[in-house]
Amino acid sequence: MQVDLFADAADLTAQLVDIESVSGAEGPIADAIEAALRPLPHLSVERDGHAVVARTGLGRAERVILAGHIDTVPVAGNLPSRLSQGVLHGCGTADMKAGVAVALRLAATVPEPARDVTFVFYDCEEVEAERNGLLRLSRRRPDLLDGDFAVLMEPTGDVVEGGCQGTMRAQIRAAGRRAHSARSWLGRNAIHEAGGILDVLRGYQPRQPQIDGLAYHEGLNAVAISGGVAMNVIPDECVVTVNFRFAPDRSAADAEAYLREVFAGWDVQVTDSAGGARPGLAEPAAAAFVAAVGGTPRAKLGWTDVARFDALGIPAVNFGPGDPQLAHTRDEHVEVAAIAECEARMRRWLSGQPFSEA
């Protein structure tokens, strides 16, 4: 399979979408990307598993990273891609092959950018963190991720979204004592006890802090509940799984301490957590990016791999075409005009041109 980096960005997006690449099966799309980049004389290209990294080496004062994952969630009857009235439909159109197409176009067509650029196309973003290709690169080839600033080309509707919120999951457990349900007063019903956990959640007031001028919005929600032994038994355990989305002024450790305070008196077991990233828009590289691409930045509320760059000490923002709300839906789509708009803005930035509203 081949892709043509000199086709227009919407066309290139469709080519990428039509190479199915559900997480774990990115071989063919990584091969196609590598094969398309290798002939370009201004780039040095490296391959690590199903990740491809291409870099300019112009000796510029600043190096920026443009990154995008090449995997998708499972196909939902929405392949191959379909173009209709200026909208491209299909699995991965918004999340995030349109962003990947823009980055590939820039890699091919801006041979002498004002800043040195590292293009990172990586695998397994849509699955558990341990398999994430960016994490693997950061462990095996940290040298490839050196840089002053990163743009993660996740869908943001062509608006700069700064930082990201952290996410933590915990199991809150209510205990009881089993009994036959015909003599329920001999036991203690753990599901009824779990009403106290739901009381906490129903009474929770989310914090909406301003951080570096952006408005974050926390959330604490049950995402699962389960309890029950048999249809005639008073259950002795009920587990509520909560998902805490926390603003990036809390570390993961702070967030856990807060969660334990909120559920004081309950058995709390944290099952996974990932810290967020502060927006860092005051950093010179980030400020220059915002100035070049224009628009009013807003907070990123969902967790993204900008947090990985943050952990590597690299300021990062999210910026890309497409509506993030459409990610992972059967009706996922992206507007052709939004892809072109993103490419134009990024091109101005990489060329060192000032922003001017069209």
Report how far residue 162's alpha carbon sits from residue 159's, in angstroms, rounded to the nearest whole number: 10
Quick note: the x/- pattern for a second copy over 195-234, rule CB under 8 A, is x--xx-xx---x----------x-x-xxxxxxxxxxxxxx
Catalytic residue, from 26, 34, 71, 335: name it. 71
- Least Å distance, CB 233 to a second copy, is 7
Of the candidate residues 150, 194, 247, 274, the single one contacting a second copy (CB under 8 A) = 194
Of the candidate residues 21, 23, 93, 167, the single one contacting a second copy (CB under 8 A) = 167
Compute the CA torsion angle 98, 104, 109, 113 (nearest 10 deg): 110
Rg (CA), the chain: 23
The H or E element that residue 157 is part of is none
Q: What is the CB neighbour count within 10 angstroms for residue 92?
A: 31
Contact present, 337 and 317 (Cβ < 8 Å): no
Site for a second copy in 306-345 (CB under 8 A): 325
| Residue 160: closest CA among 206, 120, 115, 213 | 213
How many residues bind a second copy (CB under 8 A)? The answer is 45
Site for a second copy in 231-250 (CB under 8 A): 231-235, 238, 240-241, 243, 245
Whether 71 is a known active-site residue: answer: yes
Specify the residue, 85 or 205, whose C-beta has the smaller distance to a second copy: 205
**Residues in contact with 270: Cβ distance below 8 Å, sequence separation at least 6, in sequence order:** 168, 169, 170, 256, 259
- Least Å distance, CB 168 to a second copy, is 11
Whether 125 is a known active-site residue: answer: yes
Catalytic residue, from 34, 125, 158, 343: name it. 125
For residue 263, state whether it binds a second copy (rule: CB under 8 A): no
Rounded (10°) angle between helices 98-109 and 336-351: 40
- Least Å distance, CB 136 to a second copy, is 22
Report how far residue 147's alpha carbon sits from residue 25's, in angstroms, rounded to the nearest whole number: 29
- Least Å distance, CB 247 to a second copy, is 12
Report how far residue 322's alpha carbon sits from residue 216's, in angstroms, rounded to the nearest whole number: 21
Specify the residue, 154 or 283, whose C-beta has the smaller distance to a second copy: 154
Enumerate binding residues for a second copy (CB under 8 A).
Answer: 165, 167, 169, 180-185, 189, 191-192, 194-195, 198-199, 201-202, 206, 217, 219, 221-235, 238, 240-241, 243, 245, 301-303, 325
